Amino acid sequence: MTAEPAQNPVDDDLIEELHAIVGQRLTTAPAVREEHGRDESYHAPRPPDVVVYATSTEEVSDIVKVCARRQVPVIPFGTGTSLEGHVAALKGGVCIDLMQMNEVLAVNVEDMDCTVQAGVTRKQLGEHLRDTGLFFAVDPGADASIGGMAATRASGTNAVRYGTMRETVLALTVVLADGRIIRTSRRARKSSAGYDLTRLFVGSEGTLGVITEVTLRLVGIPEAISVAVCAFPDLAAAVNASITTIQAGVPVARIEILDDKQMEAINKFSKLDYPEAPTLFFEFHGSEAGVVEQVETVEAIADDFGGSDFQWATKAEDRARLWQARHDAFYAAMALRPGSKGYATDVCVPISRLAECIVETRKDIEESKLLAPIVGHVGDGNFHLVMVLDPDDPDEMARAKALNERLVMRGLAMDGTCTGEHGVGYGKIDFLVAEHGEAVSVMRTIKTALDPLGIMNPGKIVRV
């Protein structure tokens, strides 16, 4: 392959050129830079040299053109809720903060789609859609920006029913590495018109271009929604109950596992009193009759696997409390040990191997002596350990890395992936070769072709 292109530092001339584009929406203040080089994970902050706040696609284009001419790195930034060092400015450069691009540009109720600027957050969009009868179905827990969710191919608790960002994004506006602006697709529901650029940029983590606008499929709010919680005698029973539910064709909207440690964490954090045992959280969407049918089927399955205390609820506030607790799982785990950082694993395997994968991993956790609650989107075969640790303790970090590596290799041996939804960033870059082999060279060819100067979020996904 070609040698890695050399990046240049940010200098006063560049700052001046950026000022001419964004006026006062630019800062080199250390605290702001630090904040923009940090995500929610254990990765150490790597601040950019300058942060600019863009307000339009054209501004992003102008910024990228200047950076391209000077061969300076460009790092797009949303809410900073990623988990693999995606926003770390490994080679310094210009961070483009997109959070002022927060307009919902269009909602087409009849077509069940909408177009938003990249900085619109998930909750903001939810508020905006109130009273349309529609909702945006990808829910990673964090109130992430839609642009960031597209860039990391995010998913979360609803993916088992409604898909991930891969299935949900209809089209993107992207600023390319030379500043050109493209629209990847039309609003039609399907198309065979050439290479699928939408899917190429979804999950590209800012390494091929900057996503500035996103057109999303929306989903009709179901007539009836119900949730259920059920504790199981052991982890294998809980996993097997969820696998059976999927295989029985029950169209569950969410099916989440939490192990006893994670239940202890959310009880403490969210002041709840669930049994501290392996537990499944369910959500059912459908017609009134359809939801009752689903709940009855799942209750019978849970019963077969020794599930006890199957509680279901339909009231909006009960549902909201349940999912808030689930969404706070990461923070709840960290609260078990104040001052700690979270190191989240993200293996996803074919569901036939899921029980084996989780049970073996649980044994590894016990041997590692790490604090690592398990939580997972079991309907998709995806689960996380939230390893709660002190990143300044080298011994603990070494055990965490070893545990993750063992887990990834187990997942790959089961035809799974090292990352179901968090992405690669620089934290998983070495696993990508183990996972894809020769295909990584195709990714590298694409990266080099679309970003020949190597300025787009360098050091992420593939090494050039």
Q: How far is the CB of 109 from its own copies (least distance, A)?
A: 8
Q: How far is the CB of 121 from its own copies (least distance, A)?
A: 19
Q: How far is the CB of 415 from its own copies (least distance, A)?
A: 4
410 touches its own copies (CB under 8 A): no
Considering only residues 180, 268, 337, 401, which one is a binding residue for its own copies as defined by CB under 8 A?
180
Considering only residues 48, 148, 423, 454, which one is a binding residue for its own copies as defined by CB under 8 A?
423
Q: How far is the CB of 44 from its own copies (least distance, A)?
A: 22
Burial (0-12, 13-18, 19+ Cβ within 10 Å), 110: exposed
Token couple for 207: 């390494």
Which parts of 242-261 interact with its own copies (CB under 8 A)? 243, 247, 249
Which parts of 32-71 interact with its own copies (CB under 8 A)? none
Which parts of 137-156 interact with its own copies (CB under 8 A)? 152-155
Considering only residues 24, 192, 338, 394, which one is a binding residue for its own copies as defined by CB under 8 A?
192
Nearer to its own copies, 75 or 150 (CB): 150
Which residues, at least 6 apart from 16, have a Cβ–Cβ distance to it below 8 Å? Answer: none
Token couple for 292: 């009752």
Which segment (23-31, 252-260, 361-369, 444-452) binds its own copies by CB under 8 A?
A: 444-452
Hey, is 377 helix, strand or coil? Answer: strand
Token couple for 423: 């992405």
Considering only residues 41, 81, 157, 184, which one is a binding residue for its own copies as defined by CB under 8 A?
184
Q: How far is the CB of 191 from its own copies (least distance, A)?
A: 4
How many residues belong to the site for its own copies (CB under 8 A)?
90
Closest CA to 375 of 153, 145, 156: 156
Give the alpha-carbon dihedral of 348, 349, 354, 359, to 10 degrees: -70
Which parts of 193-232 interact with its own copies (CB under 8 A)? 193-197, 199-200, 202-204, 208, 220, 222-223
Whether the CB-CB separation of 378 and 239 falls below 8 Å is answered with yes
Angle at 183 between CA 182 and CA 184, to 5 degrees: 110
384 touches its own copies (CB under 8 A): no
Which parts of 101-130 interact with its own copies (CB under 8 A)? 108, 110-113
Q: How many CB atoms within 10 Å of residue 249? A: 8
Q: How far is the CB of 348 from its own copies (least distance, A)?
A: 4
Which segment (29-37, 255-263, 300-308, 416-424) binds its own copies by CB under 8 A?
A: 416-424
Q: How far is the CB of 28 from its own copies (least distance, A)?
A: 32
186 touches its own copies (CB under 8 A): yes
Q: How far is the CB of 357 from its own copies (least distance, A)?
A: 11
Nearer to its own copies, 200 or 336 (CB): 200
Measure the CA–CA gap between 99 and 268, rounded to whole angstroms: 33
Count Cα neighbours of 342 within 13 Å in the Cβ-side half-sphere. Answer: 24
Whether the CB-CB separation of 248 and 151 falls below 8 Å is answered with no
Nearer to its own copies, 348 or 370 (CB): 348
Token couple for 323: 């999912």
Which parts of 302-361 interact with its own copies (CB under 8 A)? 346, 348-352
Q: How far is the CB of 31 from its own copies (least distance, A)?
A: 30
Which parts of 266-305 interact with its own copies (CB under 8 A)? 287, 289-290, 293
Angle at 445 between CA 443 and CA 447, to 5 degrees: 70
Which residues, at least 6 apart from 178, have a Cβ–Cβ distance to it below 8 Å? Answer: 64, 65, 68
Nearer to its own copies, 333 or 424 (CB): 424
Residue with the two structure tokens 């057109």: 215
Which residues, at least 6 apart from 211, have a Cβ–Cβ distance to it below 8 Å? Answer: 76, 118, 147, 150, 151, 172, 173, 174, 201
Q: How many CB atoms within 10 Å of residue 450? A: 17
